[in-house]
Structure 1
């Protein structure tokens, strides 16, 4: 029987219910994280959990657990559900109280839930994906990983309807990020990615990619770039927890570069896989799915 976490305790999924006046359900008043699992181990968990707590602080939710306490319980949950490759999703809402736009009193405790999901892992470099460009209609605090994802969902749906994997968003012609990923470009062998301002989520995979650039001596710059630069780039890369490092080889029906994964992208993908194995152990070909 599948297990979940409710307020720090592992319970059967069938026992867990959402209260009708949970502020996450009624207002999207909460924050969340998704962490990848490889070889039954959490990948970059400390970075994810630090961002979770920081997001909560930005909207005045106090998480009543330390990073270490959350991590220990997540590891127990992974073991209980026997997950080898997958994800763990967790969220904290402001809690349950009579519906009112203003915050409830401080004695209302946040509600914490977490669950795992199996995700197949091929162990091979991600192939090219198609994308479209859309106007970024989201709010101005995209640095907070909040439950309010309607703008992202509308963008992703436009991509799906166009037969594409991702929607690359822009504000007045300046590229921000994808609907569920960060987006970077390669120009003259240099990687450029939007700075970690309030206009994007500072993705964990994005941060690992930047560290890889430093380690490998790949030139990079955190700077704005335009739609014109995006379409003229030698390579376009999207990064996220679930997509890892994936080349975007077509945007708005136009091929990027030669329409195939580029040299820098492949270097980053190979180094990222090495980082997975460094943190989570060697992944044998016999256990990938």
Structure 2
């Protein structure tokens, strides 16, 4: 059965979905996106993703062409039509497709934003725990990483650098400190303390990050929001990352240095259990 996708108000077989060659997402990476996980056929942290989407659009002075209620309806219909029990819903909004290519933003009264959504089927998403080896690479991305734009070329290059080095992913380093992973927020654990970089324009304000830190504090775990170095990570008791598509995932090696016994640690394991349990209670 062909996957059903959503393009500008229409539900279509994926083979029939088309976007203009003049779309600014294609020409300028002038767009934002969100990825929402699906567990047991329900959406995880949908409200958080909707709020961040609105913020990203506002930061880029881009109109929001779809209400939160309508967006939820589209998500639910795509999940149902594609039979997604465990998986992801990808959403992308661009500034649209004006009549020709131009660096100047088009008049929003004349050019409507482009809205695209599709699902990805990921059976076993909640059960999958893959210990990850990371390398460090220089963070040379633009300065507004708090906006979830579709400018993902360098993170993709970072993942390829990691694979070329025999690792799974890369942690990005700026001025000697880890900012985040290529597609996730980064953490270390030392003497029972969970350490992660504080929010700023330097990193994405992760929806899963916010939930995990809230659950950690509710469980009486100590959270310290500060920058850390690769050397600190190599000397940590544990490390992990969070993202909407992986939840909480262990990091067991940093630049060739094994952490602990090379297995997922107790803090990360407990946080993953809490996150899945509590998030499923509020799933929509």
TM-score (normalised: structure 1): 0.93
CA contact (8 A) 1:125 1:266 kept: no
CA contact (8 A) 1:35 1:45 kept: yes
Tell me whether 30-39 or 255-264 shows the greater mean CA deviation: 255-264
Match of 2:212 in 1: 209
Ranges in structure 2 where 5+ consecutive residues have no aligned partner: none
The alpha carbon displacement at 1:81 in A equals 1.1
Q: Match of 2:248, SS?
A: strand
CA contact (8 A) 1:132 1:159 kept: yes
Give the aligned CA root-mean-square deviation in angstroms.
1.4
Take 2:230 and 2:257, find their aligned partners in 1: how far apart are those partners?
13
Match of 1:78 in 2: 79
Match of 2:97 in 1: 96
Take 2:247 and 2:163, find their aligned partners in 1: how far apart are those partners?
19
Take 1:70 and 1:238, find their aligned partners in 2: how far apart are those partners?
28
Take 2:75 and 2:93, find their aligned partners in 1: how far apart are those partners?
14
Residue 253 (str. 1) matches residue 222 (str. 2) = no
Q: Match of 1:197, SS?
A: coil
CA contact (8 A) 1:38 1:276 kept: no
Take 2:19 and 2:65, find their aligned partners in 1: how far apart are those partners?
20
The alpha carbon displacement at 1:11 in A equals 2.4
Pairs aligned (count)? 281
Take 2:107 and 2:63, find their aligned partners in 1: how far apart are those partners?
13
Give the one of 121, 124, 129 matched to 2:127. Answer: 124
Match of 1:149 in 2: 152
The alpha carbon displacement at 1:280 in A equals 4.2
The alpha carbon displacement at 1:15 in A equals 2.3
Q: Spell out structure 1 runs of 4+ moving beyond 3 A.
A: 122-125
- Provide Cα deviations, 1:24-58, integer angstroms capped at 9, x if missing partner: 01111000011101111111011011111111111
Residue 50 (str. 1) matches residue 51 (str. 2) = yes
Ranges in structure 1 where 5+ consecutive residues have no aligned partner: 282-289
Q: Match of 1:63, SS?
A: coil
The alpha carbon displacement at 1:163 in A equals 2.1
- Provide Cα deviations, 1:118-161, integer angstroms capped at 9, x if missing partner: 01225436242111111111110000100111111111110111
Give the one of 149, 159, 162 matched to 2:162. Answer: 159
Take 2:283 and 2:58, find their aligned partners in 1: how far apart are those partners?
29
Match of 1:236 in 2: 239
CA contact (8 A) 1:39 1:280 kept: no
Match of 1:27 in 2: 28
The alpha carbon displacement at 1:14 in A equals 2.6
Residue 67 (str. 1) matches residue 68 (str. 2) = yes
Take 1:85 and 1:182, find their aligned partners in 2: how far apart are those partners?
22
Q: Match of 1:202, SS?
A: coil
TM-score (normalised: structure 2): 0.95
Q: Match of 1:4, SS?
A: strand
